[in-house]
Amino acid sequence: MRGMNLKWFPLIAAAMLVGFTAHAQQSELVIGGLDFVDHLKAGMIEQDVYVERIKGSGKVYRVTVKQKETYINAPIYTTASSVHHAPFAMDKTGPYKRGKKLGFTLGQWLSGTGKASYSCKAGQGKLTASFEKLVPHGLYTMWYAYAVKRHMGCAKCPFATLDFPVGKPDGTQNIFYADGMGNARYQASFKPCIELGSGPIMAMLAIAYHSDGKTYGPSPGPMGSVAHVQLFTGLPGEGAHAMATK
Answer whether residue 118 shows pLDDT above 80. yes
- The pLDDT score that the predictor gives to residue 133 is 98
State residue 90 phi and psi, 5-degree precision: -65, -25
**pLDDT tens-digit readout, 171-181:** 999 999 999 99
Q: Is residue 21 part of a domain?
A: yes
Residue type for position 57: S
Distance of CA 186 to the CA centre of its chain: 14
Q: Is residue 202 part of a domain?
A: yes
What's the mean per-residue pLDDT of the chain? 87
Q: Is residue 200 part of a domain?
A: yes
pTM (predicted TM-score): 0.87
CA angle 215, 146, 129 (to 5 degrees): 60
**pLDDT tens-digit readout, 51-97:** 999 999 999 999 999 999 999 999 999 999 999 999 999 999 999 99
- The pLDDT score that the predictor gives to residue 4 is 37
* pLDDT level of residue 168 (50, 70, 90 thresholds): very high
Check: CB of residue 173 under 8 Å from CB of residue 138: no
Q: What stretches of 55-200 adopt beta strand conformation (E)?
A: 59-60, 75-79, 96-105, 113-121, 124-132, 139-148, 162-165, 175-177, 184-190
Answer whether residue 166 shows pLDDT above 60. yes
Answer whether residue 131 shows pLDDT above 80. yes
Residue 122: strand pairing partners: none
Q: Is residue 169 part of a domain?
A: yes
Burial degree of 50 (CB within 10 A; 0-12, 13-18, 19+): buried
Answer whether residue 7 shows pLDDT above 50. no
- Between 5 and 149, the more confident residue is 149
- The pLDDT score that the predictor gives to residue 6 is 37
Residue 68 CA: distances (Å) to CA of 105, 106, 153, 162, 189: 12, 8, 19, 28, 37
- Between 246 and 89, the more confident residue is 89
- Between 231 and 22, the more confident residue is 231
**pLDDT tens-digit readout, 200-224:** 888 999 999 999 999 999 999 999 9
Q: How far apart are CA 104 and CA 137, in angstroms?
A: 13
- The pLDDT score that the predictor gives to residue 197 is 84
- The pLDDT score that the predictor gives to residue 26 is 54
Residue ranges making up the domain that contains 164? 6-245
Total count of domains within the chain: 1
- The pLDDT score that the predictor gives to residue 15 is 40
Q: Is residue 1 part of a domain?
A: no
Q: Is residue 102 part of a domain?
A: yes
Q: Is residue 42 part of a domain?
A: yes
Q: Is residue 188 part of a domain?
A: yes
- The pLDDT score that the predictor gives to residue 157 is 76
